[in-house]
Amino acid sequence: MGRIAIVTDSTADIPREVVEAQGIYIIPLKILFGQQEFSDGVDITPLEFYRKLRESSALPTTSQPSAGDFCKLYGESIQAAESIISIHLSAELSGTLESAHAARAQLDSPVPIHIVDSRTTSMGLGFMALAAAQMVASGLDAPKIVEQISALIPRMNVLFAVDTLEYLHKGGRIGGAERLLGSILRIKPLLEITDGKVEALDKARTKPRAVARLLDMMEARVSGADTVYAAVMHGDAEQEALAVREEIGKRFPCRELYLCDLCPALGVHTGPGLLGVAFYTEE
């Protein structure tokens, strides 16, 4: 069987060394600070982004990769692949998936390009790309991989606490969390990605309480599982994230446990200080 190329986007938050080891192709979203445009993870790092975000008087914006960007990446992948599996953040949160479909139509490629809406983002998406890469290594064909990745979608959990809902609100990505806006100055909102959208889970009065609540929710969802795949994501809050990762390692039977910077394209909408967990269990 020829090689299957796995493509995802920069919101997957997979650590760079893991991306390189697994041979996953990443297409970056764009970050715009006024007239300055940056490619997510290419010419702006999370550290640089969050510093710039704190210093900026105006909120930056994001834009999806263009169909042309996808055509270029698919063209590079096609040279070494007999099929491509392209897995991306929820269509409810970005037009990235639409660009992928447009590129496939423009290319009219002899190589099959399978496009998957992950219905999530961050390491929820990242875990799907990693699982796909591992399935390629195990010898599964592309249709079977797409089938198994699609079955993983409803099992994926992405929970997170933000310091403020300001960024999600102004960026138009607030979804069902809008009901918490009235208490925006007095709480730490707990949110999740549900069916592709941001939804409210709970609220806490302090960051430590919010994190404790997230871990209790995680425990309830993985109860009885023999194997857990987990990641801790943070928006320029590494020391807090390290403590959360240590706690998860103690409490859960993790086969994989990653520490991940939340990418600039997501940080635009969540702001600095986010702490989140992505996880699923082995069936």
Q: Find the mean pLDDT for residues 91-105.
A: 97
pLDDT at 186 over 80: no
More confident residue, 283 or 274: 274
What gap in Å lies between CA 12 and CA 263, rounded to an integer? 8
283 pLDDT tier (thresholds 50, 70, 90): confident
109 pLDDT tier (thresholds 50, 70, 90): confident
Lowest mean pLDDT among 50-64, 151-165, 166-180: 166-180
pTM of the full structure: 0.92
Strands 83-88 and 113-117: parallel
59 pLDDT tier (thresholds 50, 70, 90): confident
Residues sharing a CB contact under 8 Å with residue 53, sequence separation 6 or more, in sequence order = 60, 267, 268, 271, 272
Is the distance from CB of 96 to CB of 67 less than 8 angstroms?
no
CATH number of 156-281: 3.30.1180.10
What gap in Å lies between CA 242 and CA 9, rounded to an integer? 25
* CA distances in angstroms from 134 to 21, 27, 31, listed in the order given: 11, 20, 30
Average pLDDT, the chain: 91
* CA distances in angstroms from 176 to 61, 96, 136, 144, 157, listed in the order given: 21, 22, 37, 34, 17
Q: Which CATH number fits domain 4-29+64-153: 3.40.50.12280, 3.40.50.10170, 3.40.30.10, 3.40.50.1970?
A: 3.40.50.10170
| Angle at 96 (CA atoms; ends 29, 237), nearest 5 degrees | 45
Domain ranges of the chain: 4-29+64-153, 156-281
pLDDT at 184 over 90: no
More confident residue, 208 or 187: 208
